[in-house]
Structure 1
Amino acid sequence: MKREAIREFFRRLHDANPNPQTELEYASPYQLLVAVVLSAQATDRSVNLATRKLFALAPTPEAMVSLGEEGIADCIKTIGLFRNKAKNTLALSRLLLEGHGGEVPAGREALEALPGVGRKTANVVLNTVFRQPAMAVDTHIFRLANRTGLAPGKDVLEVEKALLRRVPKDYLLDAHHWLILHGRYVCTARKPRCAECGVRDLCLFRDKTD
């Protein structure tokens, strides 16, 4: 996709949704961090159902440590890999208290040193909480970037770097949210909803649906 088409692509996504937000529910940077950790291989809807109960009991790192691994697991048992996620949630909460005064750090290295936090999770937190130009590439964004010709790449890191290069700077801070929502609801995996797509004419996908 050419640069002028990319700018038009994001202009249209912006006009349709000027203030895109994550669909994960949270009331603090800490809660967003936990929610993103829990969202691995799970839907945002299933995570929200679990965290409503979890955050009511443990809204802070201190409260999470007091709740303990079994208490955490009991709250999140409806989502996949809940045992390992409970262990990581407890461990990262302890490390935040011990090393960061209970606050979520604003640096990639410090975030990725926390249990259960990989590059994608760190990117979500850096972008959503600290408004840094980070690009979290999930399965939706990876598919959309390759399918449309927006930022093709053979793996998520290649797509991430391509998006950071190609997305116009004035759209970069919100690009992650626009792309994930477009991939989740319009440019879907099995049968993209091309007839409802506002950027259809810019997309380079050859097998568009009616």
Structure 2
Amino acid sequence: CGKYKRMKFRGIICEKCGVEVTLAKVRRERMGHIELASPVAHIWFLKSLPSRIGLMVDLTLKELEKILYFESYVVLEPGTTDLKMLQLLTEDQLMSKQDEFGDDQFEVGIGAEAIKKVLNRIDTDAEKVKLRADLKETTSEAKRKKLVKRLKLIEAFGESGCRPDWMILDVVPVIPPELRPLVPLDGGRFATSDLNDLYRRVINR
């Protein structure tokens, strides 16, 4: 806004406009982020075939989408019931099971938050040992292919030091402002990058 000028004010945050007084080049370097109201699945890891999230949690893309798009619940902890881990339930099935066993006898989830919990529980080292043992025992070629794909993915995560639950986003990175500029046009109007509009929509929602 022009209240503070020159580098003697470096590091001060203007109380009028909220901008830090610093070098202009940081507008090309410094990134920001938007904290999301609820987690979302990273589209690269969800939609790329085979789905990396699907491989990691051992669910098909169709099953995964039902959970992420709030169509089905997923069993996170079956407890003492006859439910199975990662079993999908419709709302009617869930209400029926709650009537049968009680609300506190098992745990279910829905949306990206539920998938994040599942990914968070995966121990990549233990999973590698289990998959190698399964590979030795299985005779089905189709099952072997699936196990090999899953093993490669888990090994890649282990070697890179990345955690499986990082495939679910809690924050959206924002690129530096100089890389998505407002360009002045004739008549006092501005041309803006599509990214600015997308970031605005994320914040408003």
The TM tier, using the shorter chain, reads under 0.3
Structure with a larger share of its residues in helix: 1
Q: Please, what TM-score do these two structures have when normalized by structure 1? A: 0.27
Larger Rg: 2
Considering Cα pairs closer than 8 Å and 6+ residues apart, tell me whether 1 or 2 has the greater RCO: 2
Q: Please, what TM-score do these two structures have when normalized by structure 2? A: 0.28
